[in-house]
Structure 1
Amino acid sequence: MGLRQELEPRDRASAARAGAAFALAGAAVLGVATAASPAFTGGSTLGLVTTLAMAAVLVVLGVVALRAPDRLPRLFWAGVPTVVVVVTLVLDLVTRDASAGGQVFLCWPVLYAAYELRPRLAYAVLLEVVLADALVVLLLLPLERALSDLAAVAATLTVVCLLLVRARDREERLNAELRRQAAVDPLTGLATRRVLDEAARCALDAGASAQETALVLVDVDEFKAVNDAWGHPGGDAVLVHVAAVLRGCCREGATVARLGGDELAVLLPGCGLAVASEVAERFVRAVRAAPAPLPEGGHAPVTVSVGVAVRPRDATDLRGLYAAADAALYEAKRAGRDRVRLAGGPASPAAAPPEPAPVG
């Protein structure tokens, strides 16, 4: 992973919320403590001014994190815990506070970094915190007690940091797997309906209204008869075979998806009617020419019906494009199956009926 990726938080929105929460909570604690007890600032004007200045820094940090997380530079996110460490260090030294209450603020940068930043940055922040705590206790406490406090704080924060980093890594792996499962049909390996819809919306929204985009809907002919003849394993094998043929017929940049059951679809961004029709006809011929292998041996003859719709010729939005392609698919089935129909005509030439293919 490069330096730019290392500096990028795991999730900017989450990092912004967490960073703002820690910064604003810290500023609030400083303000309340200062108002409630003058001794909190060390009883000096310098302590009071420093405390209020550090509280203001934290407020600014929190507000900036919330206002525009997507526009902030990557270094900002690595700097959030460092600023909190510096604020805590300065306050502890100015107020000469090496108590547990003074050191506890050093836990916050570690918690933030371990959960929101990449592992290497999290470990760097942990080192910053340990060094800052060492400086505080060694300057303000007797050596024996300073070493004891430092060892306890360092050990505790190291364990917390390691556990949070590992938990966050595991969470990201699980989320990535869930996203993969939601994006890929487990049987055919094609994209899911959700992925197709997202790709279609992007294609329809990205370019000018005149930019052509084709939607091709595919239905396996007499699929119930396939299941009745060869069982569900045979039906699954037919779907896997048809999906592989469809993927092989599509050009680069197409989104090939399974909508559900025996319905497949192809989105062809930047593709006009002529190209979409040619792709659909090539697919129909390829399926007809290649019977599907069955799990128990032999082959099943398969044909498909296809409907094609193009934006803006047939519709300008996603719902309209689906409706137009579905109507064309229905026309293909009504005309005898094993053929392509174009939304709004003209119809593609009717396919010649296939020769019966023997099983086995």
Structure 2
Amino acid sequence: MRPLAQDEERVTFWRRHTIGGVVLCVVLPAIVALRTWISPDVPNTEWILPIAAAVAIPAPLLLLVPVERLVRHPRGRLFYDTWEAAGIALVIVLCLLDGGTSSPYVLFLFVLLAHAALAYPPIGVGLAGTTIVAGYLTMGLVDGSLRPSDLFVGVLALTVATGTCAFASANHVRAYERTAAYAQEIATLARRDGLTGTLNHRAFHERLQAEVRRAAADNPVSLLIVDVDSFKTVNDTFGHPAGDGVLQMVGASLTGLTRPGDSAGRLGGDEFALLLPGTALPEATAVAERLRERVRTTAADFGATVSVGVATATSPDVTALHAAADAAAYRAKRGGRDRVVAATEPGTEPATEPALSAS
């Protein structure tokens, strides 16, 4: 059983739908009371009015229902299914007390069917409609107030209404799913670099801040700052399409090294980064070495390499971690490029930082 909602927009929809249901629980009994007041010959008012009051008076309490929890839970729809079934049953009871299929309250069944079509999937609408048709047919057979031909027409009308509402529901569901998929695609594109597919500057730094906030001695967070060496030379020698190809290779190499929970991003131009939560400096340095070797191999036709700075944080200080990794990357480029340099700890600038590997 699927949850009724998996995103905030859908949760908001179900909140509005719940409010609409509460309004119906007040308005329909009010119509019953109004008819009883203006038509003194209505039968069984001693039963009808208490039933209407029993529905309308406590109905606002349904606004206290934890809608978000219900619609996100796989079995949350049982609440709404029960509510819909109870509404149908009460309308049928009112009709039976008021003359059966000849009662004007039969029109309430169409209202409930329309209300179901606005929210339920086609199967749910079909079940609600089938229940309504069965109830109407049972009333007609029990009270005998309609000729068989008239009862047949009523059943057909409710059946056609059910089919129409189920089709409308299917159309609504399809439109919503396409809109939701489009919105998800737009959200993804807003967080991704269009050329390399890695996280863009903003999305990467959001991720960086979230992970570093959890950094501790037993939960180190490592950051790799990656610069493409002599990128201008690649563009000038082979052309900008080749330069874009090199950036794509670097992005693919970064993505290929990520584990679940890791994040690769393009910070801008020819600068990339790789975030490694739960990773100490030695392991992060080994990842940086694999990255350097992979780029050197895949981009060999263009003579492209990368310089990588590595730093690790064990305290929630994003600025210090980024500065340390950035400074290490600068030392890697200054030391000859195509190499990895690791910072001893964020915020420190060692007097001499030997290159850990070189071409």
Instruction: Please say whether Structure 1 and Structure 2 have the same fold, judged by a TM-score greater than 0.5.
Output: yes
Shift of 1:176: 2.8
**Ranges in structure 1 where 5+ consecutive residues have no aligned partner:** 293-298, 355-360
Shift of 1:9: 0.8
Task: Tell me, in whole angstroms, the C-alpha distance in 1 between the residues paired with 2:72 and 2:165.
Answer: 31
Shift of 1:25: 1.1
Task: Tell me, in whole angstroms, the C-alpha distance in 2 between the residues paired with 1:51 and 1:218.
Answer: 71
Deviations 1:108-158 (A, max 9, x none): 4422443xx5x5444333433433444456656443333223322322332
Q: Do the aligned partners of 1:193 and 1:257 also contact (CA within 8 Å) in 2?
A: yes
Task: Tell me, in whole angstroms, the C-alpha distance in 2 between the residues paired with 1:300 and 1:250.
Answer: 25
Q: Do the aligned partners of 1:16 and 1:66 also contact (CA within 8 Å) in 2?
A: yes
* Residue 225 of structure 2 corresponds to residue 224 of structure 1: no
Aligned equivalent of 2:249, options 231, 236, 241: 241
Q: How many residues in Structure 1 have an aligned counterpart in Structure 2?
A: 338
Aligned to 2:223: 215
Aligned to 1:147: 152
Aligned to 1:157: 162
Matched letter for residue 92 of structure 2: L
Q: Do the aligned partners of 1:107 and 1:157 also contact (CA within 8 Å) in 2?
A: yes
Higher mean C-alpha displacement, 68-77 vs 217-226? 68-77
Shift of 1:324: 4.7
Pairing of 1:299-314 with structure 2 (within 5 A): 299-313=301-315
Change (3 A) 1:51 1:270: same
Higher mean C-alpha displacement, 258-267 vs 213-222? 258-267
* Residue 99 of structure 2 corresponds to residue 110 of structure 1: no
Change (3 A) 1:273 1:14: same
Q: Do the aligned partners of 1:305 and 1:333 also contact (CA within 8 Å) in 2?
A: yes
Who wins on radius of gyration, i.e. which is larger? 2
Deviations 1:291-342 (A, max 9, x none): 25xxxxxx201122323333335xx155664455445444544555433343
Please give the secondary structure, in 2, of the residue aligned with 1:349.
coil
* Residue 100 of structure 2 corresponds to residue 92 of structure 1: no
Q: Do the aligned partners of 2:33 and 2:52 also contact (CA within 8 Å) in 1?
A: no
Shift of 1:197: 5.1
Matched letter for residue 303 of structure 1: T
TM-score, structure 2 as length reference = 0.76
Please give the secondary structure, in 2, of the residue aligned with 1:305.
strand
Matched letter for residue 53 of structure 1: A
* Residue 351 of structure 2 corresponds to residue 349 of structure 1: no
Q: CA RMSD in A?
A: 3.6
Q: Do the aligned partners of 2:225 and 2:326 also contact (CA within 8 Å) in 1?
A: yes
TM-score, structure 1 as length reference = 0.76
Please give the secondary structure, in 2, of the residue aligned with 1:224.
helix
Deviations 1:241-269 (A, max 9, x none): 11222233444542223344433322212
* Residue 123 of structure 2 corresponds to residue 128 of structure 1: no
Q: Do the aligned partners of 1:332 and 1:339 also contact (CA within 8 Å) in 2?
A: yes
Task: Tell me, in whole angstroms, the C-alpha distance in 2 between the residues paired with 1:227 and 1:208.
Answer: 42
Aligned equivalent of 1:267, options 261, 264, 275: 275
Please give the secondary structure, in 2, of the residue aligned with 1:81.
helix
Please give the secondary structure, in 1, of the residue aligned with 2:355.
coil
Change (3 A) 1:221 1:207: closer
